[in-house]
């Protein structure tokens, strides 16, 4: 079922989400300061291409408060707009019964877009 869901997701807009995150990650990686944020965009691109069957877990890292500070910087400089976009499309898709699984995937992306630092994809 995950394979079919991912194919439908890609055909109906998932490929555009993938390329937007990929392009944003490449642009951010052009500067030394933006490399950590670009890597998080690549993480979002992977989930944006095929979200069905992907698990997002919190990682216990030894970075201390660095993940929290990076997440705050992420939110202030653009993460909130990504979060609101996924919230809007998730709510819009959940208006129909057929769109509920796809809306849930946008909510998964919204969770990752809220705080991408300190999370891993399985």
Q: Which long-range CB contacts under 8 A does 14-18 form with residues at least 24 apart?
A: 14/48, 14/49, 14/50, 14/51, 15/49, 17/45, 17/48, 17/49, 17/109, 18/45, 18/48, 18/49
Q: How many residues are there in the chain?
A: 122
The secondary structure of residue 59, as a DSSP letter, is: -
End-to-end CA separation in angstroms for the chain: 17
Render pLDDT for 1-39 as a digit per residue (tens, 0 to 9): 899 999 999 998 889 999 999 999 999 999 999 999 999
The domain ranges of the chain are: 2-121
Render pLDDT for 104-118 as a digit per residue (tens, 0 to 9): 999 999 998 898 988
Q: What is the pTM of this model?
A: 0.86
């Amino acid at each position: 079922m995950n394979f079919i869901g991912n194919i439908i997701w890609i055909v109906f807009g998932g490929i555009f989400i993938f390329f937007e995150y990929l392009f944003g990650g490449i642009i951010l990686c052009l500067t030394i300061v933006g490399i950590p944020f670009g890597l998080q965009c690549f993480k979002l691109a992977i989930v944006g291409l095929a979200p069905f069957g992907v698990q997002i877990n919190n990682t216990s890292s030894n970075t201390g408060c660095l993940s929290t500070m990076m997440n705050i910087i992420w939110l202030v400089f653009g993460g909130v707009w990504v979060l609101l976009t996924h919230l809007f499309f998730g709510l819009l898709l959940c208006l129909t019964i057929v769109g509920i699984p796809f809306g849930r995937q946008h909510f998964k992306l919204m969770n990752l877009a809220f705080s991408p630092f300190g999370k891993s994809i399985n």
